[in-house]
Amino acid sequence: MTGLDSIIEQALREDIHTGDITTLAVVPERVPARARLLAKEPLVVAGLAVAGRVFTTVDAEVRFAPCWAEGARVAAGSLLAEVSGDAASLLQGERVALNLLQRLCGIATLTARYVEAVRGTGARIVDTRKTTPGLRMLEKYAVRVGGGINHRTGLYDGVLIKENHSASAGGIIAAVRRARAYIPHTLKIEVETESLDQVAEALEAGAEIIMLDNMEIGTMRQAVALIDGRALVEASGGVNLETVRAIAETGVDIISVGALTHSARAMDISMLLERG
């Protein structure tokens, strides 16, 4: 996974910097040890390879054995992975490995709840750009592990024409025309709409994806009918676990949820260390 190494190196530098002085002062060199990573609550597993990579970055001789495939749903108390190697290396990698793993499991677990909530409808759960600065790639990975799909990665690989954009260009139709002339032919054009009139305009403009932004359930249903398969339909705004099912049942194709990444809480996972 391109970029993963620099995230891990930066995180280790942030934590260890000039040295783990407690370990350097207190722990003898070359003491073999083993540790177990344990889920303290039920969760969807995401990021075990990332956690493993943290330990092997600290010390290439550490062995990390994951017990589950990514995406597995595990019960509280489950053993997630075993780590073995030099005690000092395990102590130095512990916090960074857990910080990443707890966050990724948190995102995958929350995503899975949304996916579950819309099961049986045609709607798919997607993420947004409301991610943690520096960790977007990993967080979007966790969304996929949880069963969601990804929206554009950033401003560079997708076109989303919002109100402000189209106003600048003289309307949705002009904006879509300009975008078509500029962007790679490999990208679809998405238009954000706030009313049925705008939906109609986006359709006429040839938008390939139409976002219904903060619409009432009833309006969404009308929009879906109006679009009638001529574009992908994305619902956005006001989505939470209480509302997502009703939104899905309007017939939209895609529901984007910022909370997946900006408000997932860390899962409770701990590392138990014992002498080797």
Active site positions, annotated: 95, 130, 162, 192, 213
Residue with tokens 């003898």: 28
β-pair type (159-161, 189-193):
parallel
Two tokens, residue 212: 């219904």
Q: Which residues contact 105 (CB under 8 A, 6 or more apart)?
A: 39, 43, 44, 45, 46, 47, 142, 267, 269
β-pair type (63-66, 269-275):
unpaired
Give CA angle at 232 (71, 223), nearest 5°: 120
- Reduced to 3 states (helix: H, G, I; strand: E, B; else coil), residue 36 is strand
